């Protein structure tokens, strides 16, 4: 579980919920029957059921999002000039977003179309 003494902004909460959903869809689709445990998102944003590998990535992603230095004028991550992720995790998040974005759009989640293309 991630704890933070600072209050999360509305944008941080939105981004953390979004990456949580994307990682959960990716985990379920790519890691099959692996045992999953609850992963609690910070600030009471709910929980996701993730395998150990995805829980580790999610911990990293949430920490990086909270520490993003561009909070005031933050673009979407794919349009950002200064990536918060290291190279390995940047490749991983791109894979997760591509896989999950298509899955969610095919399920009729049209609200994700905007995030996926822009």
- Across residues 105-116, what is the average pLDDT? 65
**Token representation of residue 77:** 């991550």
pLDDT for res 60: 97
pLDDT for res 113: 59
Closest CA to 18 of 63, 52, 61: 61
pLDDT for res 1: 46
- The whole model's pTM is what? 0.85
pLDDT tens digits along 12-59:
998 899 999 999 999 999 998 899 999 999 999 999 999 999 999 999
Residue 57 to residue 46: CA distance in whole angstroms? 17
pLDDT tens digits along 56-87:
999 999 999 999 888 777 777 777 787 789 99
Q: Is 65 in contact with 5 (CB distance < 8 Å)?
A: no
pLDDT for res 72: 73
State the DSSP H helix or E strand holding residue 113, giving kind and residue range, or none if neither: helix 111-117
Residue scoring higher pLDDT (27 or 108): 27
């Amino acid at each position: 579980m991630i704890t933070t003494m600072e209050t999360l902004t509305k944008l941080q909460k939105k981004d953390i919920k979004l990456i949580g959903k994307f990682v959960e869809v990716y985990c379920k689709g790519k890691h099959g029957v692996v045992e999953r445990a609850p992963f609690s998102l910070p600030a009471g944003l709910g929980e996701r059921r993730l395998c150990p590998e995805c829980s580790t990535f999610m911990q990293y992603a949430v920490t990086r999002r909270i520490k993003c230095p561009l909070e005031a004028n933050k673009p979407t991550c794919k349009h950002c000039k200064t990536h918060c992720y290291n190279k390995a995790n940047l490749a991983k998040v791109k894979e997760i977003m591509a896989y999950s974005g298509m899955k969610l759009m095919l399920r009729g989640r049209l609200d994700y179309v905007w995030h996926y293309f822009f």
